[in-house]
């Protein structure tokens, strides 16, 4: 990629606030990472099916990761103090925070995207609304589900006096994690800045807004009829902006004070941009969950097979909106964490590859990781995890391999649905992959075998942060959209070629579908 600023070395920062960690990566003008720092984030489980984060811990991690990455870049000889020109932000989606406008204090912990406490609210909405679970599909592209932000907002309003009172007095602010971070970074309740006193900017981007159930996919504005039907006040919602434009300056008291925030995308949309996906191309990100997006161009494709219609990206206020089909899988890398933390079968997440390779197959064991129900394409919040096919022959290696296979089966389910919904005859027949779990070569080979198609892993697997950097650099003219999409992401990439017999693949997938069906209607067991 060619930098448009050659007089001095130019850098872009990318803040990636994920479900299990926060990281800050600094890129040069060739979009190559030069320094980074990462911190794990505490997960809170106050009740079965509930998942929360501490909003202040998120802010603390942002501060530490930014400062440490800057220190590392400086120690490596880079003049980031003068050369860093903008930052982009990418974040875990659907997770929400409500806070006080006057004090800046959170009114409750952040409710995480995979939290299930809103299931009863969703069932009530399905009964009350004319279209049931599909009532809002045409407007926002999403079914009624506890996965999205709106039911979480309703739970807070119904169950937390502090939220109800803050709404009554006009003191309540709502945001997904991007909004919470940007509001604090740009001033919060108020910060002296030169001879001014700046207050935080209450904004979100269109990709994060598209995951709330409240934004109209066509207009990219909050949908007033939806808000009225749900009883959510318009006044608590942030302004919606594009993915690449000047948003605001970082306030005093933060590392990078005075640097503009010029890019913002939900993590999966950022990964799609980082993978340089164009129409007809698909990517899968393997993190806590797994998220598969297929670029559908400027067309909103309504799924008939359990997928979501969503935004791919909008690279500027006047740029065309690009859309995607998405399949979200709640438990991917989280299943590996369960083997480590819950069962103690492995000591570190990376140990699973070596353990799984001690066996040539699972010995007939199938694992369905429906810890918090199943998302796409099944959408069964009554499902719970099952481990089937156990015999006295079964050992830890079989279970570890079954966990890896469960990730790959779920991705195949989603891609099969995508092929039914979207005519991809003009696209390619490979899957672009990224995320921490993709360092596992066995996992990637299993994925290629189950799909019967190529799987391509880029040299830099942190494409989520890269996408945020692309958006931020584009907004300040560091590079053009043409330069971004002509860059060589596939240099030094690794391609996994399928080598499984088609008949064997078919039988294994049929057995997997049977295992999935056994996970249904088990939620009552946890009551």
pLDDT at position 521 is: 87
3-state secondary structure 376-407: CCCCECCCCCEEECCCCCCCHHHHHHHHHHHH
Burial class from Cβ neighbours inside 10 Å (0-12, 13-18, 19+) for residue 443 reads buried
What is the chain's alpha carbon radius of gyration, rounded to the nearest angstrom?
22
Domain boundaries, the chain: 11-275+460-485, 329-457+492-522
Cα torsion 139, 142, 148, 153 to 10°: value is 30
Q: Is the Cα dihedral 411, 414, 416, 422 positive or negative? A: negative
Could you tell me which of 253, 105, 117, 289 has the C-alpha nearest to residue 180? 105
CA distance 383 to 369: 9
Q: Give the number of other Cβ atoms within 10 Å of residue 486's Cβ.
A: 12
Could you tell me which of 332, 330, 265 has the C-alpha nearest to residue 91? 265
pLDDT at position 41 is: 92
pLDDT tens track of the chain, all 527 residues?
Answer: 544 444 579 999 999 999 989 999 999 988 899 999 999 999 999 998 899 999 999 999 999 999 999 999 999 999 988 899 999 999 999 999 999 999 999 999 999 998 989 989 999 999 999 888 889 988 998 989 888 999 999 999 999 999 999 999 999 999 999 999 999 999 988 777 666 767 889 999 999 999 999 999 999 999 999 999 999 999 999 999 999 999 999 998 899 999 999 999 999 999 999 989 888 889 999 888 889 999 999 989 888 888 889 999 999 999 999 999 999 888 888 888 888 988 898 888 888 999 999 999 999 999 999 988 888 888 888 889 999 999 998 999 999 999 999 999 999 999 999 988 887 655 557 899 988 888 899 999 999 999 998 999 988 888 899 999 999 999 999 999 888 888 765 567 899 999 999 999 999 999 999 999 999 988 765 54
pLDDT at position 488 is: 62
- The pLDDT tens digits of the residues spanning 214-269 come to 999 999 999 999 999 999 999 999 999 999 999 999 998 899 999 999 999 999 99
Residue whose structure tokens are 């079989």: 398
Q: What pTM was estimated for this model as a whole?
A: 0.87
pLDDT at position 465 is: 93
pLDDT at position 424 is: 62
Cα 133–138–139 angle (5° rounding)? 100
Two tokens, residue 201:
């900017």
Name the CATH architecture for the domain at 11-275+460-485. 2-Layer Sandwich (3.30)
Could you tell me which of 261, 262, 285 has the C-alpha nearest to residue 273? 285
Residues 15 and 37: beta-carbon distance below 8 Å: no
CA distance 175 to 308: 21
Residue whose structure tokens are 């974040």: 91
CA distance 472 to 260: 9
> Taking every pair of C-alpha atoms in the chain, what is the biggest distance, in angstroms?
74
Any idea which fold 329-457+492-522 has? Nucleotidyltransferase; domain 5 (3.30.420)
pLDDT at position 525 is: 58
Question: How far apart are the two ends of the chain, measured CA to CA in Å?
Answer: 56
For 412-469, strand residue ranges (E) read 430-434, 454-457
Report DSSP state, residue 434. Answer: E
CA distance 397 to 311: 40
Two tokens, residue 412:
């195949």
């Amino acid at each position: 990629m060619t930098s448009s600023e050659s007089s001095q070395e130019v850098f872009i920062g990318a803040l990636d606030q994920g479900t299990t960690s926060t990281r800050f990566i600094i890129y040069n003008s060739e979009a190559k990472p030069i320094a980074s720092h990462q911190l794990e984030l505490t997960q809170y489980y106050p009740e079965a099916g509930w998942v929360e984060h501490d909003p202040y811990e998120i802010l603390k991690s942002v501060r530490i990761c930014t400062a440490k990455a800057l220190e590392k870049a400086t120690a490596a000889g880079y003049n980031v103090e003068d050369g860093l020109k903008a930052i982009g932000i990418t974040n875990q989606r659907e997770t929400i925070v409500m806070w006080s406008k006057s004090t800046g204090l959170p009114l409750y912990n952040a409710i995480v995207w995979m939290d299930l406490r809103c299931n009863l609210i969703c069932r009530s909405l399905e009964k009350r609304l004319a279209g049931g679970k599909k009532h809002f599909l045409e407007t926002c592209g999403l079914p009624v589900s506890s996965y999205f932000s709106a039911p979480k907002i309703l739970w807070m309003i119904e169950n937390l006096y502090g939220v109800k009172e803050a709404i009554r007095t006009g003191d309540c602010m709502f945001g997904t994690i991007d909004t919470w971070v940007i509001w604090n970074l740009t001033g919060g309740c108020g910060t002296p800045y030169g001879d001014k006193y700046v207050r935080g900017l209450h904004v979100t981007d269109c990709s994060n807004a598209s995951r709330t159930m409240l934004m109209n996919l066509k207009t990219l504005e909050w949908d007033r009829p939806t808000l009225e039907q749900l009883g959510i006040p318009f006044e608590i919602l942030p302004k919606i902006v594009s993915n690449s434009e000047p948003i605001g300056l970082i306030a005093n008291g933060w590392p990078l004070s005075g640097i503009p925030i010029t890019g913002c995308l939900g993590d999966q949309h950022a990964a799609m941009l980082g993978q340089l996906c164009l129409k007809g191309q698909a990517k899968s990100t393997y993190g806590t969950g797994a998220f598969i997006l297929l670029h559908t161009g400027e067309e909103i494709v309504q799924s008939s097979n359990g997928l979501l219609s969503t935004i791919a990206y909008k690279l500027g206020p006047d740029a065309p909106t690009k859309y995607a089909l998405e399949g979200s899988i709640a438990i991917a890398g989280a299943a590996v964490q369960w083997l480590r933390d819950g069962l103690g079968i492995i000591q570190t997440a990376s140990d699973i590859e070596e353990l799984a390779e001690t066996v040539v197959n699972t010995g007939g064991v199938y694992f369905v990781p429906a810890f918090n129900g199943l998302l796409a394409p099944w959408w069964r919040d009554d499902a719970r995890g099952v481990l089937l096919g156990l015999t006295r022959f079964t050992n830890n290696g079989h279970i570890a391999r079954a966990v890896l296979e469960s990730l790959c089966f779920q991705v195949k389910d989603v891609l099969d649905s995508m092929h039914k919904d979207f005519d991809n005859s003009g696209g390619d027949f490979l899957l672009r992959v990224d995320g921490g779990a993709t360092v596992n070569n066995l996992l990637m080979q299993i994925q290629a075998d189950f799909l019967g198609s190529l799987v391509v892993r880029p040299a830099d697997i942190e494409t989520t942060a890269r996408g945020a950097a692309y958006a931020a650099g584009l907004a300040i003219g560091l590079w053009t959209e043409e330069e971004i999409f002509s860059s060589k992401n596939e240099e030094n990439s690794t391609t996994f070629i399928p080598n499984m017999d088609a008949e064997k693949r078919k039988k294994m997938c049929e057995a997997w579908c049977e295992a999935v069906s056994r996970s249904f209607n088990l939620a009552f067991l946890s009551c």
